[in-house]
Chain A
Amino acid sequence: MKKALEIFLGILTAMGGFVEIGELVFSINAGAKFGYSLLWVVALGTIGIIIYGEMAGRIAAVTGQPVFYLIRERAGFVVGLGTLVAANLVNLLTCAAEIGGVAILLKLALNWPYRVFILLGLIFFLLVMWFLPFQWIERTFGLLGLLMVVFMLTAILLKPDWPQAAAGFIPNVPALESPKEYLVYAYFAVALMSSIMLPYETYFYASGGIEDHWTPSDVPLNRIIVTVGFVLGSLLAVALIIMGARLFLPNHIEPQLPGSAALGPVIVFGKWGLALALLGMFFAFGGAAIETCLSAAYNLAQFVGWPWGKFRKPGGAPRFALAWITMLILAGLLITTGVDPVSVVEYSIIFSVIILPLTYLPILLVAADRTCMGAFANRWWANTLGWFYLIILTIAGLCAIPLLIITHGGKG
């Protein structure tokens, strides 16, 4: 009974924590530019994050080792250090963007000055992270992030062309007007893929397993949470693409603001839709701000070998606590300069693609290693899929920055 409840909550938490500001913007714009035709990327990315999330969770449950232990052991000190720096830079950018997104949402609800909300948001996150235990934080934000379901209902009530949407799940390249448009399509495919497989999700998920004191008996629990939770979460991304295709594409709008996303629920549900959309996004972005910030502290502490974890009191893991506090404040300072959160997250998502192969290779090597994992090592199919995704991500990583430059960040 207790186990069933844990699985149920775990699934809902994984689902509610799936979308953050970058994925929201890229999904809606993918729909607004290319209709249903990029839906297959969501499917591809979701299977990828399930495969690697499951492996990272399984390694955490069986050996008690989080991702950055593995990166340092398997990639070596120098390459590992490079990955750490890049990963935490991306975490910093993402965290800053999420804080900015939260401040924009608060402004849309109350209309005080933007920077006041950045400060209030920062204080709120600091208090939450300082006082609440790990599971509380994870579940509160995950479960309240489920208010994002309003976007799913919106997508359904906007009456999409289901057969056409279903066809979008088969990898395809639509007929476009100019060669440049094909590059924009490729850019969106890479960005969408990356936004679904953002590296912090794996770091955070595996460290979370250790925070929750997983043991080898939790391997099935891990498998169910990852599979069901991430598939349900990806339905949110699907809903956002459908909303883009049904609402923004015919209106010739390419939404650049979090508030624009709320217009979908507004059209379908009026003011209630607005309230739910703003609240849902608040908890989704807020959860991501906390996760990226904690993830940065996990990564650093795990790489250099400090005591880490929210299960320890701040006094028991002082350098870890200092790391996340510093990270949060740096992110706050970065976004106070007035940079646009949406542009910041676009860059962080594109740079993420480059670190994904470096993150995933050590996970795959350890998960496949019988001497470490014993009976829990990868079966042949997990290895095949793992290598398949590693190749795809390496190709995506090589294309990411050239595409960013050539297409002016997807603008054309």
Chain B
Amino acid sequence: MRRATQHGRWLQSAVALLIIGGLGFWFTAEVNKPLGAEDLKIAVSELRSHAAEGRLIAEQALSARLTATFFQTQTSMLRDKAGAVVKDLNSTAPRAGLEEELSRVKAFAERISADLASLSSSFDDRQEMSRLQEDLDTVFRQALEMEESLKH
């Protein structure tokens, strides 16, 4: 009886250790995994969404439907989101053959991030705002195209 419980305790600890070790291993492998086509697609679709939202916000601000505070805060939060994508892309190496796509995505990310940053301080400058709206529209379309091409 006593031996059986001791046995059980060892087994329990061993199983627990195995699970924790396995999870840790899986997690580190996941973090250090090189950037694949799938990760790029996710990054592009996030960027596409941020660009589209920036465009929509600019459009609403141009028709005087937003307050300055909301406009500034929401666009700078979007910029932070785009900035996070840039940081993610910079921190991992791409899988072989994806270098060119990666640099294109990075270019999108930086352009969108810069556009959103300028947008957030453009509330009183209608001309600048509509210029940025157009630029975001252009990047948005390019991103959408690239997203489609990455799907296949």
Interface residues, chain A, with chain B CB atoms under 8 Å away: 104, 107-111, 177-178, 251-257, 259-260, 262-263, 266-267, 270-271, 274, 278, 408, 411-412
CB of B45 within 8 A of CB of A412, answer yes
CB of B69 within 8 A of CB of A109, answer yes
In angstroms, how far is the closest chain A Cβ from the Cβ of B144?
Answer: 6
A270: which of B42, B48, B65 is its contact (CB, 8 Å)?
Answer: B65
CB of A259 within 8 A of CB of B70, answer yes
Residues from chain A with a CB closer than 8 A to the CB of B151 are 177-178
B74: which of A254, A260, A411 is its contact (CB, 8 Å)?
Answer: A260
Q: Given contacts A111-B69, A252-B48, A274-B66, could you give 13 more A-B pairs where the C-beta distance is less than 8 Å?
A: A108-B74, A254-B49, A255-B49, A256-B49, A256-B81, A257-B78, A257-B81, A260-B74, A263-B53, A266-B66, A274-B65, A408-B42, A411-B46
A411 to B41, CA, bound (A): 9
16 contacts between A and B (CB under 8 A): A104-B77, A251-B53, A252-B49, A253-B53, A253-B56, A254-B45, A256-B49, A257-B81, A259-B70, A270-B65, A271-B65, A274-B66, A408-B42, A411-B42, A411-B46, A412-B42
Residue among A107, A110, A178, A266 with the most chain B CB within 10 A?
Answer: A266
In angstroms, how far is the closest chain A Cβ from the Cβ of B139?
Answer: 12
A266: which of B42, B65, B140 is its contact (CB, 8 Å)?
Answer: B65
A124 to B112, CA, bound (A): 37
Q: How many residues of B contact A (CB 8 A)?
A: 27
CB of B52 within 8 A of CB of A252, answer yes
Beta-carbon nearest neighbor of A267 in chain B = B60
Beta-carbon nearest neighbor of A278 in chain B = B70
Residues from chain A with a CB closer than 8 A to the CB of B49 are 252-256
In angstroms, how far is the closest chain A Cβ from the Cβ of B50?
Answer: 8
Residues from chain B with a CB closer than 8 A to the CB of A411 are 42, 45-46
Beta-carbon nearest neighbor of B69 in chain A = A111
Task: Decide yes or no whether B119 CB sits under 8 A from chain A.
Answer: no
A122 to B53, CA, bound (A): 30
CB of A253 within 8 A of CB of B60, answer no
